[in-house]
Amino acid sequence: MDGGEYSISVTVLRLGHRLVRDERTSTHLGLVARAFGARELIISGKDDETAESIRRISERWGGDFTVSFSSNWRNTLKNWRKETRGPIIHLTMYGEVLDKTLPELWTMNAGAVKPREILVIVGGEKVPGEIYKLADLNVSIGNQPHSEVAALAVFLDRIYRGKELYNNYRGAKVRVVPDSRRKEIVNLSN
Amino acid sequence: MDGGEYSISVTVLRLGHRLVRDERTSTHLGLVARAFGARELIISGKDDETAESIRRISERWGGDFTVSFSSNWRNTLKNWRKETRGPIIHLTMYGEVLDKTLPELWTMNAGAVKPREILVIVGGEKVPGEIYKLADLNVSIGNQPHSEVAALAVFLDRIYRGKELYNNYRGAKVRVVPDSRRKEIVNLSN
């Protein structure tokens, strides 16, 4: 998977990462972002093992996915606007129905100076109220409580229309041989 | 959402639930199962707060989703077979490509004595090797490492073809008014 092969480049901003308590969920979020075709994860909060464990997996499984930390998500959003990198989408159970917002998203995206870039904000349990206004669109993946990890996966799956899931990742050291009966991995480093 | 409205009834078996460490991930799994149209979650492991927190949310948001614990997943699988309730699907990154297995799944399901029931096994990091043989199909949601929560969400989304996400849940006390600009909840108990 290389960002350039996609028509749309997605950056994920993970809000509300609290040390230790959120390490596992944030790691899942990062791996989902990578496996479902996003290019980059920015974690708002203090640096911990999360970035490193995602990087270790990326190195083994290939691709150009990047992870960084932001100590100030307001600045991250401001810089995104300044660079006019495309619409800011907030995934939330209170947002507008996904299938209704997708057509609007394509239109907004086409108008951006650097077109075909999207920032997806994924919160934890408590999201500051101002996020709803700072985002261009608040989008729901169902209006029921569930999981930010699932929300991100389904959003990216719809954005890329399911084509992202079985990409070849450049520089991978291992690759799975898909099999309905057994577990098989091929070592590519030799 | 009521199971009866669906053409297929899905039960999720969560393997490898370890106390405390997995509470949050298992809760996310349960909420995803409910929000994406499954009927039931069975957690293999010792009872803890997980079931209760999923039940609390179900009570507030409605529907007939049930949660239970199993102290012996082998027995759970045996009983499922004895009752011939339909195919057993193991979600794993090593499995066969999702879109290739779905047609096979429909055929298997049509042949079951109690047709239109599926057991979906979702593991944690370590899954016993015998699961690959006990399952009728090992299915991958991408052959990259990511998250069992995301895998379950995308699997159910494909099974129900995206129709599950905005159901009305019987007996709900609250309901979200989907909005792209703000957060709005309606209280239905009055």
Higher per-residue pLDDT: B150 or A161: B150
pLDDT of amino acid A16: 78
Containing B137, the helix (H) or strand (E) segment is strand B137-140
Q: How many CB atoms lie within 10 A of CB A148?
A: 26
Of A28, A143, A181, nearest to B178 by CB-CB distance is A143
pLDDT of residue B10 exceeding 90, the answer is yes
Per-residue burial over A93-131, b = 16 or more CB atoms within 10 Å of its CB, e = otherwise: bbbbbbeebeeebeebbeeeeeeebbbbbbbbeebeeeb
Q: What pLDDT digit, counting tens, does each position of B133-183 carry?
A: 999 999 999 999 999 999 999 999 999 988 888 988 999 999 999 999 999
For chain B, the maximum distance between any two Cα atoms, rounded to a whole number of angstroms, is: 52
At A27-58, the pLDDT tens digits run 999 999 999 999 999 999 877 789 999 999 99
pLDDT tens string A82-115? 988 899 999 999 999 999 998 888 888 777 766 6
pTM here is 0.93
Is the pLDDT at B2 greater than 70? The verdict is no
pLDDT on residue B133: 95
Smallest Cβ–Cβ distance between B181 and the set A32, A138, A169 belongs to A138
**Closest residue in A to B104 (Cα–Cα):** A180
Give the CA dihedral B114, B54, B98, B133, nearest 10 degrees: -60
Q: Tell me how far apart the alpha carbons of residues B37 and B93 are, in angstroms, rounded to a whole number.
A: 22
**Angstrom distance (rounded) from CA A42 to CA A33:** 11
Residue of B nearest to A157 (CA): B154
- Report CB contact under 8 Å: B28, A25: yes
Considering only the beta carbons, identify the residue of B95, B129, B154 that sits closest to A153: B154
Of the two residues A37 and B103, the one the predictor is more confident about is A37
